[in-house]
Chains A and B, each alone.
Chain A
Amino acid sequence: MHNGGPHGHHVDLLVRTSAEVNDEVLGWTMRTSPKYWLLVFALAGVTVLGFIGFIIKAGNDGLDSHLPWGYLAAGLAFVLTTSLSAPLVAIAPRLAKAHWSRPISRIAEIWSVSGLLVLLVMIPLLVSLPSADDRNTMWFYNKIAEGWPPGAPHLYIALTLIFLFINGMGLLWASAIPDFATAREDASGWRRVWYARLSLGWVGTKRQWRALRAGLGVLGAFYFMFLVFAHTVVSFDFSQSLVPGQRDSILPTWQALGGIQSALALVILSAFVIRAAGGFKDYIGVNQIWSMAKLMLASSLLWMYFWWSGFIVLWYGKTPLQQNLLQLMWFGPYRTIFIMTLIMSFAVPLLILMWNGARKSILGPTIVAVSILTGAFFDKIRIYVSSYSIEDVNAHTLDYVPAGVTPESADIMMLMGVVSGAVLLFALAVKFIPVISLWETREGMLLQEIRPLKKLPLKVLAKPE
């Protein structure tokens, strides 16, 4: 809420009692409306459509070759870079003891449920991925000893994504334990049973709180490392290693950075929706969106910088291989998609968020978030579809630029299904897990005050050790 002060100065601070916070958040979590079920059924329908698209595609083309599956790989990479990266928006501010992120941290963490979808999509992609024999992979298969490391690259991709999912679910569960305990007291029926089970006997002793904080720190740090590693593995194994001669060391780091940018965009967009749908305008205010918008602007500038850093080296080298790579990735068949990405992921964020008025609003960053997510979607299509279009992955160098691959109707159905599936899992989860972290919000209320300094009301932020 706004607390008025002289000279039109105002500061945001949530004014509620703990009981009011519990009632408002848990009330929304445990209440479902016909509109909600309509949304769930619509999302489920599109997800099923995606599955049908997969069946059609698999029936027509089979899983023997990687060539038909570029769009599905792009879908997996898109979910990885958006939903699975979203928990970072909770992890990093929590480690930095920032207060602004308290009301949106759970929204960010809940997106980790979409890891389930990534695991499903991963299966056909692993089946169709070419063997590591006679080609370069990041696993150096056969380079040190015959048949070593066993199972490369398939086994390690699977392990990376499985561990990422488990880590994400662990983080979500750990952070929600105190809230499950609160919900346990209010709920009835099956909810009460499950909240009681999931709260693990939480009563809020000093020892439990200490363990929770340590656990969140460790799980958060590991999630961050797993996520960066997952971006590295996916960008290598589903893209770079399929393009003969490509040696683009910036690609994995650029993809990881794109993950941070898209994660912020996704959390802003979902916070906007939750804010409107749940009536949480006092919880998710300008302060939260503004704080994320600043980071989104910074990550958009860095996104461009990383692209430019990679581009200039390839452009300057001008070897036949580098020229073919430039054509394949940026200036050939996927030029339009690339230009769209540049506009959506860089130009729009810069031109809108450079203005403090737009940055410090609800609508401005939300519009930019939609633009960034669209840009990320195009970017994944450009990177993965172009890599999957290379037929001879065992060649020594890229001596030709294959034609662009336009999506078939089955590809479009699969892409829609993947996106819709991720949103469906999120939509189901928010009606079970309190979408606003109760304990973090209540703690934040204790550590923030508005006090006058020389007659001017200012926010006071406490930072405990």
Chain B
Amino acid sequence: MQQRPTLTEIDINRDLLRPTLATPMWFYGLMMFLFLIVAGALGAFAWAINHGTGVYGLNRPVMWGFLLVNFVFWVGISHAGVMLSAILRLANAEWRRPATRAAEVLTVFALGTAALHPLFHLGRPWRIYWSMPPGYDFGRGIWPDIRSPFVWDPTAISTYLTSTALFVGLLLIPDIAVLRDRSSGMMQRVYSMMSLGWRGNTRQWKLQIIAGFLLSALILPVFVSVHSIVSWDFAVQIAVEGWNATIFAPYFVIGAVHSGVAGVITVLALLRWLFKWENYIRDDHFDALARLLIVVAVGWFYFFVIEFMMGFYPNEEPELSLRNLQLTEWPFNAAFIVFALTAFFIPVPLWLFRKVRRNVALMFWTTVMVNIGMWLERFLIIVPSLMRKQVLTFNWGSYNPSPIELILVGGSFAMVFLGVLTFVKFFPIIPLADAKEGAIMATEIRVGKVMVPAAYREE
């Protein structure tokens, strides 16, 4: 049965604003715990700045390690926001309502965290200045190579971050107005300023809806471009075996969507448990998201098979030895098995069962599993390829992550969750306006003796 609890506007305001207006004590405890981990990671970064990049496990020829793997991973997670929010908004999917803002917020914090990784990796973070337009030294005839994906990368990521933040902010305005009317003191002044004089009149709603649709459509090319450009960091390098593949851009994008949607489900399950939002994040929503994930996962798997098969197709020794390394040599063989099982072979068959799709605990663990697999996928793409002797390198190499890198990777997870929790402290993570609209639009149609759940549809 589809669940349809009857919710009034008062219920929706009370339940969804509870974490913001009546924050429980455990919430602060959790934030403090995450903050300590983040502080530890920042300490590790300070250590790396002080001692130089020698504290990382990087060496010649493996110059990209865990930090770059983690960078790709978080950029991937950030794809959930647009995928769920913009595409499902344009498609008018009713079940998107409780998931959209969580997805958008996850995007913002995941992308912000991803953007820190090149800084970690550089070791001297201030040098990033020279890759930004203000740092271009035209005066001395030093021009940036605009043909380099390393120039495209910061442009794409900063555009995506800006547009997603704008998207979140715009769609948040009606909810901030509700908060403004329920808060006092300094917070009321802040909310008042952020709500831009929202009164909820017809003209304001019309503008807000049009702007939401326009931004949804405009943000889509940015969303696709970001991970495509990240993929071209690898794919345009002809000297590294396994990277110079034409399929990389869409393969990375669909992998990112797989990873990102799984991440949103994980966050939704956590929110439902933490704030007891069973009436808002319902089993139906997990069911629909899991169906979407099946389609995405199967598509991703097709791309993966084609990409992996292409390694064998030309029957050339360097490429075959790379696949041999990935498949047969420790620890990559173990990583490969775990990757294949967790990213596809365990979760996808499980999601075919309705009972699994509607079981929040199972959805939580299977989606966590997907992201373990997808992290390993990035690791298997980056590290083994660099370990082989290449045309432009002179030796074979190996790579062992240093404790500093491990702390930074762990810290990045705490950083994203701390960011999401901070957002929850100040803003509703489930859109109030969307929840109310969903309640108004929900209805039923009688077919024979049965009442079938239905919804009004504006065209």
Interfacial residues, chain A to chain B (CB-CB below 8 A): 11-12, 136, 138, 140, 143, 228, 232, 245, 247-253, 287, 305-306, 309-310, 312-314, 316-317, 319, 446-449, 451, 453, 458-465
CA–CA, A314 and B235, complex, Å: 10
19 A-B pairs besides A309-B249, A312-B236, A313-B235 with CB distance below 8 A are A140-B312, A247-B313, A247-B314, A249-B307, A249-B310, A250-B247, A251-B246, A253-B247, A309-B247, A316-B236, A317-B238, A317-B244, A446-B445, A459-B459, A460-B445, A461-B455, A462-B444, A462-B454, A463-B454
Q: Are B224 and A451 in contact (CB under 8 A)?
A: no
* Chain A residue nearest to B224 in the complex (CB): A305
CA–CA, A11 and B458, complex, Å: 9
CA–CA, A253 and B252, complex, Å: 14
Nearest CB of chain A from residue B311's CB, rounded to whole Å? 9
* Chain B residue nearest to A252 in the complex (CB): B306
- Which residues of chain B have C-beta atoms less than 8 A from A453's C-beta? 440-441, 456
| Max chain A C-beta neighbours (<10 A), residue from B232, B244, B453, B456 | B456
Nearest CB of chain A from residue B49's CB, rounded to whole Å? 34
* Chain B residue nearest to A256 in the complex (CB): B302
- Which residues of chain A have C-beta atoms less than 8 A from B147's C-beta? 316
Nearest CB of chain B from residue A227's CB, rounded to whole Å? 12
CA–CA, A232 and B310, complex, Å: 12
Could you give 9 example pairs across A and B, Cβ below 8 Å? A12-B459, A252-B306, A253-B303, A305-B250, A310-B246, A312-B232, A316-B236, A451-B443, A462-B444
From A247, A252, A460, contact of B457 by CB (8 A)? A460
- Which residues of chain B have C-beta atoms less than 8 A from A458's C-beta? 456-458
CA–CA, A451 and B458, complex, Å: 12
Q: Are B454 and A138 in contact (CB under 8 A)?
A: no
| Max chain A C-beta neighbours (<10 A), residue from B147, B302, B453 | B302
B447 within 8 A of A: yes
| Max chain A C-beta neighbours (<10 A), residue from B228, B232, B307, B452 | B452
Q: Are A462 and B250 in contact (CB under 8 A)?
A: no
Chain B window 284-308, contacts with chain A (Cβ cutoff 8 Å), 1 for yes, 0 for no: 0000000000000000001100110
Known: A458-B458, A459-B457, A465-B1. Contact between A313 and B452, CB under 8 A?
no
- Which residues of chain B have C-beta atoms less than 8 A from A232's C-beta? 306
- Which residues of chain B have C-beta atoms less than 8 A from A312's C-beta? 232, 236
Known: A247-B313, A253-B302, A253-B306. Contact between A451 and B456, CB under 8 A?
yes
Q: Are B452 and A309 in contact (CB under 8 A)?
A: no
From B244, B310, B452, contact of A447 by CB (8 A)? B452
CA–CA, A12 and B302, complex, Å: 38
Q: Are B313 and A138 in contact (CB under 8 A)?
A: yes
B315 within 8 A of A: yes
Nearest CB of chain B from residue A117's CB, rounded to whole Å? 27
CA–CA, A451 and B455, complex, Å: 11
- Which residues of chain B have C-beta atoms less than 8 A from A143's C-beta? 312, 315
Q: Are B457 and A462 in contact (CB under 8 A)?
A: no
Known: A310-B246, A313-B244. Contact between A460 and B314, CB under 8 A?
no
- Which residues of chain B have C-beta atoms less than 8 A from A463's C-beta? 2, 452-455
CA–CA, A460 and B312, complex, Å: 53
CA–CA, A112 and B265, complex, Å: 38
Q: Are B228 and A461 in contact (CB under 8 A)?
A: no
Q: In chain B between 420 and 457, which residues have their CB closer than 8 angstroms to a CB of chain A?
A: 440-441, 443-445, 447, 452-457
- Which residues of chain A have C-beta atoms less than 8 A from B445's C-beta? 446-449, 460, 462
Nearest CB of chain B from residue A195's CB, rounded to whole Å? 27
B42 within 8 A of A: no
* Chain A residue nearest to B307 in the complex (CB): A249
B74 within 8 A of A: no
Q: Are B456 and A459 in contact (CB under 8 A)?
A: yes
* Chain A residue nearest to B245 in the complex (CB): A249
Q: Are A313 and B454 in contact (CB under 8 A)?
A: no
Nearest CB of chain A from residue B395's CB, rounded to whole Å? 24
Q: In chain B between 170 and 190, which residues have their CB closer than 8 angstroms to a CB of chain A?
A: none
CA–CA, A316 and B232, complex, Å: 10
From A12, A306, A313, contact of B245 by CB (8 A)? A313
Q: Are B313 and A313 in contact (CB under 8 A)?
A: no
Q: Are A250 and B452 in contact (CB under 8 A)?
A: no
8 smallest A-B Cβ distances: which pairs? A309-B249, A462-B454, A249-B247, A310-B246, A462-B445, A462-B452, A250-B246, A316-B236
B214 within 8 A of A: no
Q: Are B236 and A309 in contact (CB under 8 A)?
A: no
Q: Are B453 and A462 in contact (CB under 8 A)?
A: yes
Nearest CB of chain A from residue B252's CB, rounded to whole Å? 10
Nearest CB of chain A from residue B344's CB, rounded to whole Å? 15
Q: Tell me the interface secondary structure of chain A in the complex.
A: mixed
B309 within 8 A of A: yes
Nearest CB of chain A from residue B232's CB, rounded to whole Å? 7
Q: Are A460 and B244 in contact (CB under 8 A)?
A: no
Nearest CB of chain B from residue A310's CB, rounded to whole Å? 4
CA–CA, A463 and B455, complex, Å: 8
Q: Are A309 and B457 in contact (CB under 8 A)?
A: no
Nearest CB of chain A from residue B439's CB, rounded to whole Å? 12
Nearest CB of chain A from residue B403's CB, rounded to whole Å? 37
CA–CA, A310 and B443, complex, Å: 47
B248 within 8 A of A: yes
* Chain B residue nearest to A240 in the complex (CB): B313
Nearest CB of chain A from residue B10's CB, rounded to whole Å? 20
* Chain B residue nearest to A221 in the complex (CB): B298
- Which residues of chain A have C-beta atoms less than 8 A from B459's C-beta? 11-12, 287, 459
- Which residues of chain B have C-beta atoms less than 8 A from A138's C-beta? 309, 313
Q: Are A228 and B249 in contact (CB under 8 A)?
A: no
From B232, B312, B457, contact of A461 by CB (8 A)? B457
* Chain A residue nearest to B302 in the complex (CB): A228
CA–CA, A287 and B455, complex, Å: 17
CA–CA, A314 and B247, complex, Å: 11
- Which residues of chain B have C-beta atoms less than 8 A from A448's C-beta? 445
Q: Are A249 and B246 in contact (CB under 8 A)?
A: yes
Known: A250-B250, A253-B303, A460-B455. Contact between A317 and B313, CB under 8 A?
no
- Which residues of chain A have C-beta atoms less than 8 A from B457's C-beta? 458-461
- Which residues of chain A have C-beta atoms less than 8 A from B314's C-beta? 136, 245, 247
From B238, B245, B313, contact of A136 by CB (8 A)? B313
Nearest CB of chain B from residue A405's CB, rounded to whole Å? 25
| Max chain A C-beta neighbours (<10 A), residue from B2, B232, B246 | B246
Q: Are A462 and B447 in contact (CB under 8 A)?
A: yes
- Which residues of chain A have C-beta atoms less than 8 A from B447's C-beta? 446-447, 462, 464
CA–CA, A66 and B452, complex, Å: 58
CA–CA, A314 and B236, complex, Å: 8
CA–CA, A306 and B455, complex, Å: 36
CA–CA, A465 and B224, complex, Å: 33
CA–CA, A104 and B2, complex, Å: 28
* Chain A residue nearest to B440 in the complex (CB): A453
Q: Are A309 and B454 in contact (CB under 8 A)?
A: no
- Which residues of chain B have C-beta atoms less than 8 A from A252's C-beta? 306
Q: Are B236 and A317 in contact (CB under 8 A)?
A: yes
Q: Are A460 and B309 in contact (CB under 8 A)?
A: no
- Which residues of chain A have C-beta atoms less than 8 A from B306's C-beta? 232, 249, 252-253
- Which residues of chain A have C-beta atoms less than 8 A from B302's C-beta? 228, 253
CA–CA, A136 and B311, complex, Å: 12
- Which residues of chain B have C-beta atoms less than 8 A from A253's C-beta? 247, 250, 302-303, 306
CA–CA, A172 and B238, complex, Å: 47
Q: Are A465 and B456 in contact (CB under 8 A)?
A: no
Nearest CB of chain A from residue B319's CB, rounded to whole Å? 9
Known: A249-B245, A447-B452. Contact between A313 and B236, CB under 8 A?
yes
